[in-house]
Amino acid sequence: MNNILLAFLLTFISGFSTVIGTIPIFFKIKNKEKLINSTLAFSSGVMISISLFSLIKESYNLLVRDYNKTILLIFLYIILGFFITNSINLLLSSINNKLYKIGLINMIALIIHNLPEGIITFLATSSNSYLGLTIAFSIMCHNIPEGLSISIPIFYSTNNKFKAFIYTFISGFSEFFGALITFLFFYRYINDFILGIILAITTGIMIYISLIELLPQALLYNKKRTILFFLIGFIFMIFFK
C-alpha cells in the first residue's frame, strides 16, 4: 500500500478509536456515580502518564537533544499550555453544570492534543510504515479512555447520547484533520522543532486537565476509588505508551 494512503488510514483508525469511549453510554448503568468517579480518575491517570512518559520525553528529544535548546524552553511552553487551558476554563465560567463543563473542556483540550498526534502519525507513517503502525497503536490505546473522559461527563450531565457521541466524534476527527491539513498545506514545512513546541504545550494542557479538573471532581465521589482508578490509568499507559 502507498505510504501516504496508509498514513491516512492509520490516522483515521487511531483518531476514531476515541468513539469507542462512548460505548458505556449506550448501556443502562445501575450506579452512574461509580462509573463517573472511575472514569474521571482513570482518565486523569492516563493523561498524567502520557504527559510524563511520552509528551515531555518526546518534546525533550526534539527541542533539547536535536536542537540544543535549554530545558527551560520546554517548561515555559508547558506553562503556556496551563495558561491556554485556564483561559478556556474562564471562558466557560458561565456554565454552572460542573460535569458538563469538564466534558466540554476535555473536548476542546483533546482537540488541541489530537491535532499534533495526527500530524505525527501521518509524518511517521509516510516515511516509515512500521513506525507509523507502532505510533498509531499507542495513540489508539490512550484515545479510548480520552473518549470516556468526554462522553461520560457530557452524557450524565445532559442525558443526551447524541450530544455525548458527537462531542467525542469531533475530538477524534481532529486527529484525522491534523493529517489532512499536514498533507494539503504543511507537509514540507513542519519540522521537529515545531512539533517539540506543540508537544510541550500539549503537556501543560493535559496536566492542567488532570490535576485541576478531573481529579478534584473524582475525589468528590469516593477518595479510595479515585486513587485506585487513577493508579490503574497511570500504570495502563506505561505499558501502552
| pLDDT (tens digit per residue) in 4-18 | 888 899 999 999 999
Whether residue 186 is predicted with pLDDT greater than 70 in this model: the reply is: yes
| pLDDT (tens digit per residue) in 111-128 | 988 888 888 888 878 877
| pLDDT (tens digit per residue) in 194-214 | 888 888 888 898 899 899 988
> Is 229 within the bounds of a domain?
yes
Of the pLDDT bands very low, low, confident and very high (cuts 50, 70, 90), residue 232 is very high
Q: How far apart are CA 167 and CA 217, in angstroms?
A: 20
> Is 10 within the bounds of a domain?
no
Q: What is the pTM of this model?
A: 0.84
> Is 76 within the bounds of a domain?
yes
Whether residue 36 is predicted with pLDDT greater than 70 in this model: the reply is: yes
Q: CA-CA distances (angstroms) from residue 5 to 1, 14, 140?
A: 7, 14, 18
pLDDT of residue 241: 60
Burial class from Cβ neighbours inside 10 Å (0-12, 13-18, 19+) for residue 99 reads: middle
Place of cell 490505546: 141
Q: What single-letter DSSP state applies at residue 27?
A: S
> Is 143 within the bounds of a domain?
yes
CB 231 within 8 A of CB 40: no
Q: Is 241 in a helix, a strand, or coil? A: coil
- Total domain count for the chain? 1
pLDDT of residue 223: 93
Whether residue 235 is predicted with pLDDT greater than 70 in this model: the reply is: yes
User: What residues make up the domain containing 155?
Assistant: 37-239
The set of residues, in sequence order, having a beta carbon less than 8 Å from that of 90 and lying 6+ positions away, is none
> Is 22 within the bounds of a domain?
no
pLDDT of residue 240: 65
> Is 32 within the bounds of a domain?
no
pLDDT of residue 177: 93
Name the more confident of 138 and 82: 82
> Is 2 within the bounds of a domain?
no
The set of residues, in sequence order, having a beta carbon less than 8 Å from that of 122 and lying 6+ positions away, is 7, 8, 11, 178, 179, 182, 183
| pLDDT (tens digit per residue) in 49-101 | 888 888 888 888 888 876 777 788 899 999 999 998 899 888 888 888 989 99
* Maximum CA extent, the chain: 54
> Is 28 within the bounds of a domain?
no
